[in-house]
Amino acid sequence: TLNLGKTQQAIQHLNTAISLDPLAGPAYTNRGFAYHRSGRYQQAVQDLDQAVELITEDITAYRRWGLAYDGWEQYRRPREDFDEAILIVPWIGGVYAVRGVANALLGRDSASLRDIDLAAQRGLDRRLVERAIKLERSKAGNQGLGASNSPG
C-alpha cells in the first residue's frame, strides 16, 4: 500500500497490525516511514524509536530513523542517541551522516568532518552529505545554529 502512495491507508493498516501485536518492530518501522512520507516527522521519529528499541539491529529502521530526524530538523537531539545508534549499527553510513549534519549545525565542525568521512567509508557519497549540511545551514539561517569553528 505504501509503495502505491496511499500513505494514510497504510498507516491505518499498520495501526491495526500494531494494536494486534504491539511488539511487531517491522510494523513500527513501516508506519514510521509512512508518517515520514506524509510529513509527520515527529510521529515518524516516535515510531522509529520504538522500532529500533524492539529490533536493535534493524538496518531499515535506522535508515528511516535518520531520514525522519532530517525531515523533522531536530538536530539538537541529544548526541547520545546518535552515538548509541552508531554503537549498535556502526556499518550504516546514514547514521553518521545525520550526526554529521547535526554536528555541523551545532558548530562542531571537526566532529562533522569526521562523521562525513565515516559515512563516506560506509558507502555514502560525501558530496551529498556536504550538500545536506549546506542546505540545512541555509535553512537554519538566524536560528542560532551553525556557529562555525567551534570545537567538535
In the chain, pLDDT over 70 holds for what percent of residues?
Answer: 76
**Bridge partner list, 150:** 108
Task: Report DSSP letters for 54-85, one per residue.
Answer: HSTT-HHHHHHHHHHHHHHT-TTS-HHHHHHH
**Which of the four pLDDT bands, split at 50, 70 and 90, describes residue 68?**
confident
**Which of the four pLDDT bands, split at 50, 70 and 90, describes residue 82?**
confident
In the chain, pLDDT over 90 holds for what percent of residues?
Answer: 25
**Which of the four pLDDT bands, split at 50, 70 and 90, describes residue 99?**
confident
28 pLDDT exceeds 70?
yes
Residues of the chain within CATH 1.25.40.10 domain(s) are 1-72
2 pLDDT exceeds 60?
no
Q: Which CATH number fits domain 1-72: 1.25.40.10, 3.40.50.720, 3.30.43.10, 1.10.3720.10?
A: 1.25.40.10
14 pLDDT exceeds 90?
yes
pLDDT of residue 118: 94
pTM given for the model: 0.58
pLDDT of residue 148: 41
- Please report, as a single letter, which amino acid is at residue 64: R
